[in-house]
Chain A
Amino acid sequence: MDEQTVMYLGVSAITPFVLLVSASSLGPLGIIIDVFALIAVALILMLNYADFLIFPAVTKLLGIKIQLSKEHYCLKEQNAILKYTGGIYYATGYLTANIYNYVFNAESSNPNSDDDQISLAPEKWERILMNVDFPFKFNVITDAKDVQKYREDLEGERGFLEFQLSRESNSSNPNQMTLTELERKINVTQAKIDKMSSGELPLNTIMYIETTAVGISEKDAVDSLTNQLNRLETVFHTFDVNILRVVGREIHTLYKLNYLLYEPQLIEKLFNHQK
């Protein structure tokens, strides 16, 4: 959780907290206020951790459509972007597809294990293409990290882990599990430093899949889109990916990313909650 979120959470929780504490002095009335305050706290926490549930529910309940540009709008369910042109509806939907085993971020200390995955990737990709008969896009947004800073961070991390390891091994009753875990973490950090030394650069990446379906009505297009997204979810399981349909405010950002790439810090912040 970043500092800004902590600030927002802290300040927003003042009122519910004050009411919770002081309502007890109001007798039976206080119990009602306590219940409302607890509901407010729950809503704030849900907005922070699962706003993809609350936001579409609110827009659906109030029937709010969001017009993103002259020809594009977002449905009240917040799960698809629609374009209406030439009497045809084009519905676009998104799936998260963060490949956690991207070679640099993978928690592996053995470079040979990455090789197997890399050499299998083209074949897996082509198998996916063979099984899909509708348009889709696989997108990877990359942003290079500051190499010097990242290296210093890794070296600092390794130093701290080594210190913890030496303290644990010098203690009167060293825990074997802790020692093994610390040694593993040191090896992973060292492997990342070695990769950088061999010329590979650390990256921030955001990956997602996008597909478009057509229909003669809004419902027709959205139903076809849902089918396509389900099929993509199935075929992409051959990769080691965590796939989820994107709903809520992130869909507005993904729509914009089709045309425009913002500054990396802004993109990273927008997707903080998807990770």
Chain B
Amino acid sequence: MAIKTNILIFTIFISISVLFAVGTLVSTNPALTILFSIIALFFSVLGFSTRFYTYLYIPLFRSRKRNIVLSNQEAFLLSPSGNTIIINDSVGTYATAFVKIPLYRSSTEMTESEKLDLGRTFSRVLTLTKETTKFSSEMYVVNKDEYINKVRAKLQNSSEKLREMQSSEPSNSEKLNRLKGELTMWENLISNISSSRSESLVTYNMVSAFGQNEEEASSIAYQKAEEIAAGISAALGVTAYIAEGEELLSLIEPNYMIPVETVNEIIRQKSIKEGI
């Protein structure tokens, strides 16, 4: 369908170009000759550009605005089961599933032969399936918000205890000093956590399937992902599994890759640096 549209638009542009080229050759008016030749050559270049840009021309002609809207739908929808995403493309309905590969080994604790084995095994993992698949290694920012909140609660608790102690038993210096020490410890911990970012690495595989409807596409993609997960588990000796829900979103959505709480911290630190 897309190829047919490409060729149709290409033929239209080239026909206009040829028509004006003929006009250039038969015209006796010099101004018209120049004008016709420019139009003919313009459509000739435009015709060639349809080789790559037809997908932009049609929305551009339709909208007749400066901004081209290729789609104003969501990029994808999460399937009801939460383990695949659904993409409604101009061609049809697709579903994509993601297999997480938990790899925890570091090369620093491997011998030369183990490193070679890992490299070779990974090379073989790439050839596990005949399907078109994507292997990705993603470094993402860890969401430390929950941890920070816990430490903040403890800090608040200690500071309340200190306040109570200062009003009820101001003479008990030993207890007061211990509480002050605890408070300083929590404050230092918070400042340490906030001053540096923590990143984590995740490796995953992605596979897509086409279907007549969302259910069919989703079920085929899930089956393919299960096969790949089994193959990877056997080859690498890990338990590969299909990602679901938020875990899945963290593999594709930038706002899950960089949690909003951390973003605020990044922006705050950037502002401080710029201020300095």
**A243 CB–B CB distance under 8 Å:** no
B67: A residues at CB distance < 8 A:
64-67
Shortest Cβ gap from B128 to chain A (Å): 9
Q: Which of B14, B24, B40, B132 contacts A11 (CB 8 A)?
A: B14
Q: Which stretch in A163-171, A172-180, A261-269 binds the other chain?
A: A261-269
Residues of chain A in range 52-106 having any CB-CB distance to chain B below 8 Å: 55, 62-72, 83, 85-86, 88, 90, 92, 103
**B136 CB–A CB distance under 8 Å:** yes
Chain B 118-141, CB-CB to A under 8 Å as 1, else 0, gives 111001101101101111111111
Residues of chain B in range 83-140 having any CB-CB distance to chain A below 8 Å: 85, 87, 89, 94, 96, 106-108, 110, 112, 115-116, 118-120, 123-124, 126-127, 129-130, 132-140
Among the interface residues A4, A125, A135, which one has the most CB atoms of the partner chain B within 10 A?
A135
Q: Which of B96, B110, B263 contacts A214 (CB 8 A)?
A: B263
Chain B's closest residue to A211 (CB) is B139
- B45 adjacent to A118 (CB under 8 Å): no
Given A121-B119, A141-B134, A144-B127, are A63 and B75 neighbors across the interface (CB < 8 Å)? no
Given A33-B33, A55-B53, A214-B266, are A67 and B68 neighbors across the interface (CB < 8 Å)? yes
Shortest Cβ gap from B150 to chain A (Å): 24
- B132 adjacent to A15 (CB under 8 Å): no
**A142 CB–B CB distance under 8 Å:** yes
B: contact size bracket: 35 or more
**B197 CB–A CB distance under 8 Å:** yes
Chain B's closest residue to A67 (CB) is B69
Given A90-B258, A137-B137, 10 more contacts at CB 8 Å? A19-B24, A40-B41, A44-B45, A47-B48, A70-B72, A88-B267, A90-B254, A121-B119, A137-B136, A214-B258
- A261 adjacent to B24 (CB under 8 Å): no
- B45 adjacent to A43 (CB under 8 Å): yes
Tell me the complex Cα distance, A103–B123, Å. 8
Tell me the complex Cα distance, A147–B87, Å. 31
Given A8-B51, A66-B67, A69-B71, are A119 and B112 neighbors across the interface (CB < 8 Å)? yes
B141: A residues at CB distance < 8 A:
134-135
Tell me the complex Cα distance, A121–B134, Å. 19
Q: Which stretch in B166-174, B183-191, B199-207, B231-239 binds the other chain?
A: B199-207
Among the interface residues A118, A249, A260, which one has the most CB atoms of the partner chain B within 10 A?
A260
**B272 CB–A CB distance under 8 Å:** no
Chain B 191-219, CB-CB to A under 8 Å as 1, else 0, gives 00000010101000011100000000000
- A83 adjacent to B255 (CB under 8 Å): yes
- B199 adjacent to A133 (CB under 8 Å): yes
B61: A residues at CB distance < 8 A:
none
**B30 CB–A CB distance under 8 Å:** yes
- A135 adjacent to B138 (CB under 8 Å): yes
- A70 adjacent to B75 (CB under 8 Å): yes
Chain B's closest residue to A46 (CB) is B45
Shortest Cβ gap from A205 to chain B (Å): 8
- B119 adjacent to A47 (CB under 8 Å): no
Shortest Cβ gap from B273 to chain A (Å): 12
B69: A residues at CB distance < 8 A:
67
